[in-house]
Amino acid sequence: MNQTTLFPLSRDALHDPHRWNSDWEIWLRGAHFALPHGPRNCFDAKLDDMQDAAHGVDEALEGYQALVLSTCAIQRNITAEALQHFTEDNFEARWMTAGADVRGKHVLRAMAAVCSKAQNLNEARAYCPELRVLRLRLDGKVFLSLLRSVMLEDASFIPSQPIFVSNPGWDAWAAQQRILNDTEAKKIALAEILILRTKLICHVVHFTIRSFVEKDLPDLIVTKRHEKTKLSSAPHPDIIASVGLEAAKARAKDVKVGLKALRRERLDTCSYPGCQKTAPDNSVNFSQCKTCFEKMQRRVLYCSKTCQTADWKLRHKAICGKPLNFETASQALEHPVSAHNAATRIGPPINGYRRSLELTERVTKLNLHPTVDYQLYDANGDLQNVDWGAGTYAQEVFRVAREAAMTTGDPDAVAMMAHFMCSMIFLYTSKTRDHARITPDSIVAQLAREFALDDLRERVLEMQERQNTDPLHRPPLLGQAPEDLWAILDNSMPLSKIVVTLDEFR
Distance, in Å, from the CA atom of 472 to the CA atom of 487, rounded to the nearest integer, reads 9
276, β-bridge pairs: none
**pLDDT tens-place string over residues 396-430:** 999 999 999 999 999 999 999 999 999 988 777 65
pLDDT score of 258: 54
pLDDT for res 253: 55
Q: How many CB atoms lie within 10 A of CB 320?
A: 17
Q: Give the pLDDT band of residue 26 (cuts 50, 70, 90).
A: confident
Measured over all CA atoms, what is the biggest interatomic distance in the chain, rounded to whole angstroms? 93
- Number of Cβ within a 10 Å radius of residue 453: 20
Segment 461-477 shows an average pLDDT of 95
The DSSP secondary structure of 432-472, one letter per residue, reads: -STTTT--HHHHHHHHHHHTT-TTHHHHHHHHHHHHHHSTT
Percentage of residues in the chain having pLDDT higher than 70: 86
pLDDT at 130 over 70: yes
pLDDT of 379: 86
The average pLDDT across 342-354 equals 90
Residue 353 has pLDDT above 60, yes or no: yes
Helix axes 411-431, 393-408, angle to 10 degrees: 140
- Tell me the one-letter amino acid at 39: P
Of the chain, the percentage scoring pLDDT greater than 90 comes to 59
**Cβ-Cβ contacts under 8 Å for 98 (sequence gap 6 or more):** 140, 212
> How far, in whole angstroms, is CA 321 from its chain's centroid?
32
Closest CA to 173 of 60, 28, 35: 35
pLDDT mean over 53-78: 89
The whole-chain average pLDDT of the chain stands at 86
Instruction: Tell me: pLDDT of 247 over 70.
Output: no
Q: What are the φ and ψ backbone dihedral angles of 383, each rounded to 5 degrees? A: -80, 135
Cβ atoms within 10 Å, residue 123: 23
pLDDT band with cut points at 50, 70 and 90 for residue 18: very high
194-233 residue pLDDT tens: 999 999 999 999 999 999 999 999 988 777 665 555 555 5
User: CA-to-CA distance for 86 and 65, rounded, in angstroms?
Assistant: 31
Angle at 332 between CA 328 and CA 337, to 5 degrees: 125
How would you classify the pairing of strands 374-377 and 383-386?
Answer: antiparallel
Mean pLDDT, residues 444-463 taken together? 96
The confidence score (pLDDT) of residue 88 equals: 87
With cut-offs at 50, 70 and 90, classify the pLDDT of residue 132: very high
Question: CA nearest 207: which of 280, 131, 279?
Answer: 131
For residue range 101-126, list pLDDT tens digits in order. 999 999 999 999 999 888 889 989 99
pTM of the model: 0.85
For 147-191, the pLDDT digits (tens) are 999 999 999 999 999 999 999 999 999 999 999 988 999 999 999
C-alpha distances in Å from residue 479, one per residue of 203, 465, 474:
49, 13, 6
Q: What is residue 53's predicted lDDT score, i.e. its pLDDT?
A: 73
| pLDDT for residue 2 is more than 50 | no
Average pLDDT over every residue of 318-335: 89
- Which of residues 321 and 429 earns the better pLDDT score? 321
pLDDT at 505 over 50: no
For residue range 472-485, list pLDDT tens digits in order: 999 999 999 999 99
Residue 251 above 60 pLDDT? no
pLDDT above 60 for 387:
yes
